[in-house]
Amino acid sequence: MHSDGSLTVKIFADGADKASMLEMARHKDVKGLTTNPTLMRKAGVKDYRNFAKELLSDIKEKTISFEVFSDDFGDMERQALEIASWGENAYVKIPITNTKGQSSAPLIKKLVAKKVKVNVTAIMTLEQVKTTSSSLNPNIPSYVSIFAGRIADTGRDPMVVVRDSVDILKSNPNAEIIWASTRELYNIIQADTVGCHIITVTNDLIHKMSLFGYDLERFSLDTVRMFHKDALDAEYEL
């Protein structure tokens, strides 16, 4: 956190609705964008290539991460090279393993040797962070996405994993840690506290960032008024 109380961690918008992504790309607080096949399917995206290329034709100043979806490492490499060719600001999301649990480390090494900017994703353990760290090239920009929200879902403190991961990657000036699978606004404060470089945030949460520092007495009153209004609008009787 800066001396004036502002945050050091960068905000990346996570989503797959084209209109919303374009809106977030214009948002002054948003420094990059990410998406994934699950979000794209939910958003009704039918043509992966066209969707990505249309976004990249409009968004040139901020990075966008697109994920490979093959489960075969050879084909993952082919997909990664194509995605990387779509734009200088295109990062390629590579899952830390395939669906069989086989490490993606050899593929990551191949890709960074070809100067592909990777976003290694679905990471949840320090061992996976160490494996990723040893596979990256310090001369090539990269992202390391730790799924902090999913770690928290298991009852573990993700701040410990993210903090230690930041230490592991300190020797690589071009690698940035991403706090991913964000659940609530307070996660932004947590990510900033442990020195995380980036946090992915849904559009809904980005719109709620105006609540930072909001007076709690006023927030309490707003909540009481909401309950009262909803009860009146529902015409409840006792």
Question: What is the percent of the chain with per-residue pLDDT over 70, rounded to a whole number?
Answer: 98
Q: Which residue has the higher pLDDT, 95 or 6?
A: 95
For the stretch 93-149, pLDDT in tens is: 999 999 999 999 999 999 999 999 999 999 999 999 999 999 999 999 999 999 999
| Residue environment code for 157-175, b if the CB has 16+ CB neighbours within 10 A, otherwise e | ebbebbbebbebbeebeeb
**Total count of residues recorded for the chain:** 238
Could you identify the residue written with the tokens 């420094």?
31
Q: What is the pLDDT of residue 70?
A: 98
Q: Per-residue pLDDT for 16 more than 70?
A: yes
For range 209-220, the mean pLDDT: 96
Q: Per-residue pLDDT for 188 more than 50?
A: yes
Q: What is the pLDDT of residue 29?
A: 93
Q: Per-residue pLDDT for 166 more than 70?
A: yes
Q: Per-residue pLDDT for 177 more than 50?
A: yes
Could you identify the residue written with the tokens 């592909």?
116
> What gap in Å lies between CA 201 and CA 205, rounded to an integer?
6
- Give the pair of three-digit tokens for residue 102: 């086989």
CB 162 within 8 A of CB 148: yes
pTM over 0.85: yes
Q: What is the pLDDT of residue 114?
A: 98
Average pLDDT of the residues of the chain: 96
Say if strands 118-123 and 175-179 run parallel, antiparallel, or are unpaired: unpaired
**What are the boundaries of each domain within the chain?**
10-212
Q: What is the pLDDT of residue 3?
A: 47
Q: What is the pLDDT of residue 6?
A: 78
CB 170 within 8 A of CB 136: no
Q: What is the pLDDT of residue 36?
A: 97
Region of residue 5 (phi > 0: left; psi between -120 and 50: alpha; otherwise: beta): left
Written as one string, the DSSP assignment of 104-126 is -HHHHHHHHHTT--EEEEEE-SH
The fold of 10-212 is: TIM Barrel (3.20.20)
